Structure 1
Amino acid sequence: MIAHFTRAGRRSRDRFDTLAGILARRGANVELVTSTFHHLSKQQKDIADAEDELYRTTYISEPSYRTNVSVRRLLSHQILGRNLTEYLRHRRAPDVVYCAVPSLEVARAAAEFAAKNDVRLVVDVQDLWPEAFELVLRPHWAGRRMLRPLRRTAERIYRAADAVVTVSETYSNRVSAARGDDDEVTTVYLGTDLRTFDGFGPTRPVDDGYIELAYIGTLGHSYDLPTVFDALRLLKRQGLRMRLHVMGTGPFENQWRRDAADLSAEVIFYGSLEYSEMVARLRGCDIAVNPIVPGAAQSITNKIGDYAAAGLPVVNSQECQEYRDLLAAYGAGISCEQTADSIAAALVRLSNDRNLAERGGGSRRMAEERFDRGVTYERLSGVVLGED
């Protein structure tokens, strides 16, 4: 297994750790190959604290970088790709290579190794690159032209795979179009391990009359919390008491803390939390928010599975039709435009909904039917192992 962006080790609860554990318990000899650099914290990983007894982890050196969109990050990925190629050149060929995309440099090295050694290659598309960068490059037309070679690289990787897994139907459609078929493309949502999730919390804030809102995840380019802050200002002027709990970190954290300085009672920043505390606080809230800027490439993200597992109805501004359809099918929330007025109106409508408990029940039912890793990742392990 090759995954550029994973924490790995005993404290990891991401897709790759979970899948590696399932494969190992099924009798596979699993090696997880990843970077020494932790993208989210922008720090080198503490390798001494990262071993897992079920599988072996190998760390490939990657230089640090400070910002997500930068030349230094591109150079860092290129160096990691070269170092991975060198490591694989001296490694005995396995039966299967399972590789996450992105990054493209790492996936290209994995694809070339698999082709050279006639090894089955399974690619897992976590995000669409370079589409994810097109949103932040100005002007957009120049960004698309500049990123065209990366798009061709991504499509070559998709076509090189014997099988492809993606985290959403939206991504599966994109990959199928690049491959020219959908015979070997499977969707498995990122999901949540409900058995583990249900063991934590809930931790309910002190009851001082606020309706408790939750946001978990990255504080970065694709997510638009400032518009949620503006919605809270509108509600505050109307005398409505809603409080947002922001759990996560990212490049915009300090800026957004300053933006919300006038909302000290309405917005609480927690930074990066241990998984158990994040789940406990999430389960103690009333409503979740999913504010994504228009045009973003995200589809079914990690937070969506956690919101559903917590049984929280969602105010959603994400344009992704796949998620909007899920919310509608399960009666699990309201989709709206990414404006302060629309978000404020949706929050009021949802908080006043007499069927709020039923909406929460629909959200939890979505988790049990679509996002429970205990079920979906067993199927994913079968794809990796080439089972019919």
Structure 2
Amino acid sequence: MSEKKKAYIFDVYDDYEIRLRYVRDVFEEKGYQVTMYLSDFDHFHKEKYKTKRKDAEYIDVLPYSRNFSFARIRSHMKFAKSCLEIQKKDPADLVYVMVPPNSMAAQFGKHHKKNPSYRLIFDLCDMWPESFPVKGMKPVLAAPFSVWAGLRNRYMKYADLIMSECGLFADMIRKYVPKDIIETFWLCRRQIVKEVLPVDSDVLTFAYVGSLNHVVDVDAIAQTLVQIKKHVPLKFHIIGDGESRARLLEMLDREQIDYEYHGLVFDEEEKRKIFAKCHYGFNMMRDTTCIGLTMKSLDYFAYDLPVLNNVPADTWKMVEENSLGFNISDPSANIEKILSVKDEDYQTMRHNVIAFHRDHLSEEQFKRKLASYL
């Protein structure tokens, strides 16, 4: 009896719920014995993990206190070297590497160029340093940023497959890699609502879900609500938390927007009950953000909720071509269209959301696509 094939999954963060669980399932279905390696440092709370997954191995890394710091870069470089040592000492047949950190691309790209006997997959889930919110400082940081991006751009071409989280990221690195090894693998989410449910039409109701951090355009959200409130009664449901929460709630209070703040909600049924009251979800990010598809948009679509969107590239095209809500370039844009939607057209929009999620953003679709490349 032949020995079972081995696969390694390497990720400096714990992206299990949004990506790794689906990748792992596909690898195991294809007959691989999978080992998942994560760092032992919680990036969001800036401390070592107190509780760990039983189905993962943890790699000791250096702690850091600030996102934009040399300490963070050193921590990631240590992680990348440790991961490569694992592959060198006990080689797997298939290696999946989440990028960033860009040092992961450099370490594994260089190694795979000289040792092509195993299959190497890079999964591009963000763009560093392009996505860093340092707009005013970018001229000063041009030289170090070029070196940083070069770690990714020079070495990703040595993979057998590059999975890109969105088409925007794929387009940004396409000139550096062979065209036949890069493919867009959109984020996926289990579909919660599979049929259109009735919504109270007396009050136009909106939702926001997700982290309220510095990249979310809370000003645009508040100003859009102000414009709509001039014409119709409205209600705003907020699920999430972050450093921008206080600012958002302060603006809503000042403008006398009727809202309900739910805090962090993880229970799917509780979230479904909140979304069932809503007509649209806000998917609005600052224009300095380098992203083509957000997890919050998947949340909305999974619950059959059209979006008010300003995210460019993939999401803008999705919404425009499939009637999944409205693209909004500024707080006053498309307000008349939102207010004048007929009931039957709105129901069609929700049917479109269900169909688009099922065909393009579902767990089943992601798994089928990845399996076809193995």
Same fold, TM-score > 0.5, yes or no: yes
Question: Partner of 1:2 in structure 2?
Answer: 10
Q: Judge conservation of contact 1:309–1:367 (CA < 8 Å) in 2.
A: yes
TM-score for the superposition, normalised by structure 2: 0.84
| 1:1-388 equivalence runs, <5 A | 1-8=9-16, 13-48=17-52, 50-52=53-55, 57-89=56-88, 91-115=89-113, 117-118=115-116, 119-133=118-132, 135-179=133-177, 181-194=178-191, 197-198=192-193, 210-236=203-229, 238=230, 240-262=232-254, 266-274=258-266, 276=268, 277-320=270-313, 322-337=314-329, 339-342=330-333, 347-349=338-340, 354-383=344-373, 385=374
Q: Aligned equivalents of 1:68 and 1:260: distance in 2?
A: 29
Q: Judge conservation of contact 1:203–1:281 (CA < 8 Å) in 2.
A: no
Q: Aligned equivalents of 1:42 and 1:258: distance in 2?
A: 27
Classify 1:108/1:227 alpha carbon distance in 2 versus 1 (closer, same or farther; 3 Å): same
TM-score for the superposition, normalised by structure 1: 0.82
Q: Aligned equivalents of 1:347 and 1:188: distance in 2?
A: 31
Q: Judge conservation of contact 1:96–1:121 (CA < 8 Å) in 2.
A: yes
Q: Judge conservation of contact 1:88–1:113 (CA < 8 Å) in 2.
A: no
Unmatched segments (≥5 aa) in structure 1: none
Unmatched segments (≥5 aa) in structure 2: 1-8
Q: Aligned equivalents of 2:126 and 2:347: distance in 1?
A: 33
Q: Aligned equivalents of 1:103 and 1:343: distance in 2?
A: 38
How far residue 85 of structure 1 moved from its aligned partner, in angstroms, is: 4.3
Q: Aligned equivalents of 1:174 and 1:349: distance in 2?
A: 38
Q: Judge conservation of contact 2:109–2:156 (CA < 8 Å) in 1.
A: no
Classify 1:275/1:42 alpha carbon distance in 2 versus 1 (closer, same or farther; 3 Å): farther
Q: Judge conservation of contact 2:18–2:188 (CA < 8 Å) in 1.
A: no
Moved more, 273-282 or 182-191: 273-282
Moved more, 308-317 or 274-283: 274-283
* Partner AA of 2:364 in structure 1: G
Q: Aligned equivalents of 1:281 and 1:241: distance in 2?
A: 18
Number of aligned residues: 364
Q: Aligned equivalents of 1:68 and 1:347: distance in 2?
A: 38
The CA RMSD measured in Å over matched residues stands at 3.1
- SS of the equivalent of 1:334 reads strand
Classify 1:348/1:261 alpha carbon distance in 2 versus 1 (closer, same or farther; 3 Å): same
* Partner AA of 1:355 in structure 2: D
Q: Aligned equivalents of 2:110 and 2:271: distance in 1?
A: 39
